[in-house]
Every structure is written in structure tokens, then in C-alpha cells.
Amino acid sequence: TATAPFKTIWDTFGMIRGSEFPDEMVIIGGHRDAWGPGAADNVSGTVSVLEAARAVAELAKRGVRPKRTIVFATWDAEEWGLVGSTEYVEDDTLRLLRGAVAYLNQDVAAQGPSFGGGGSPSLRATLRALARTVDDPGGKGSVYDAWRRAAGVPDSIEPPMGDPGGGSDFAGFYNHLGVPISEWSFGGPGGVYHSAYDDYKWMSTFGDPGFARHAAAARVGTAMLLRLANADVVPYDYVE
């Protein structure tokens, strides 16, 4: 008998209900599937989401709850065409249209020393502001300081930030529902993308020895979540 060409996929969710605006949601997510070992793509993004979840959960256990609901997601079948995140967006469209404040995407969060960020223009100022609050893993000021130096831009200009395309799990949120999105990562010379060499040995030797960039990506994510979840007025900046 032929094997049925179907496979069950699984999205996972953790949620901390907001104390004042429980119907408003700030979501962070990354895909859990990979073409090979997937150390960079996307174990690095998954552990960034999990570490943010651990930090926010510790605050909640101490009674410090966010004002808005925070959702931590890991998506399945991203590599097969963003299937897991798209199914979620299609399944929960009404709630997302009514209450989704932002979606933060972690796809290849760490595979090198150089920070970069992008996403909706309305969230770029917030990402830059919070990058100023996280120490650069290289020990040269803040993540923002190192980002500016590497970009080599004059004082009157911010480091360049990319617009969202369609190649990751933000697509359902942003391109179909118009939910603002933000993403960031530590990148560098690769060569192992979607191969059997994207493994622990490559990452611990070349991509991020000591895993300090993994930790920094998670700190940026946690800061973004808490700023968006606790702001009296959500910090969208439409001037940009």
C-alpha cells in the first residue's frame, strides 16, 4: 500500500494573559522545523523565543504581569511554505484583526557578529530605542552603538533597516492582515544555509562561539515584548 502523503504539523503556544487589555496581543514567534540540523535556521530563533518566554514568565510568577496579553509561538512547516503560521493566521483572523498589536519574528536570530533589524516602519523607532538598552556581546557599548559603527552612517541618519518581504512567518500577519511586524538578528558570513553543515559544531565554532549573540537577540525580544505590552499608548511611529 502507498504511504499517504500527509503529515501532521504542530504549532505550540504559551500565553500570559494581560492584566488591563487582555484582548490586545503582542506575539513573538519563530519556526521550529529545519532542512537539516538547523542550528542557525532556526534553532537560534526558537531559543530566542523560549528565553523571552522564560524571562517574562519569571516576572509573572512574581506578580508582575503585562498589561496586554503576550503570546509565545513556535511554528511548524515554515520551510514547506510558511504553512504553520499561515494556518494560525487563517484560523484566528478575527481575533488577530481585533487585537493583534504586533508580531515579532525570530528567524535565524544568531549566526554571526553583526546586528541588523527591519520590519514595519511603524516599529523601527522602538527597535532602535530598545537596541540601546541591550549590551553589545562584543563589549563595545550597546547593540545600537555597534550597529551604528558597522553601518558607518552620519549622525543625522539611522542605520538602514529592511522592509518585510515574504520569506518568513511574518507574512501571514503583515501581508494579509496588516499587523505591524519587527525582526532582528545577528548575522555574518554563512555558507551553511539549508545544509547538513548548519549544526552545533559550526555554530559553536564559527557562527556564535559562546552563544552570546543568541542571548542578546533574546534580550532585545524580551525588551520589545515588555515595551509593547506595557505602554500606555502603543509606540507606533508613523512619521517614519
Q: Which residues are catalytic?
A: 78
Give Cα 69 distance to the centre of its chain.
17
Q: CA 84, CA 94: separation in Å to the nearest integer?
A: 18
* Closest C-alpha to 52, from 35, 72, 38: 72
Percent helix, strand, coil in the chain, to 5, is 40, 20, 40
Q: Is 155 exposed, middle or buried (0-12, 13-18, 19+ CB in 10 A)?
A: exposed
The residues, ordered by sequence, that sit 6+ positions from 22 with a Cβ below 8 Å of its Cβ are 68, 69
Q: Rounded to whole angstroms, how far apart are CA atoms 88 and 69?
A: 17
Q: Which residues pair with 187 in a beta bridge?
A: 114
For 181, list phi and psi in degrees, rounded to 5.
-130, 155
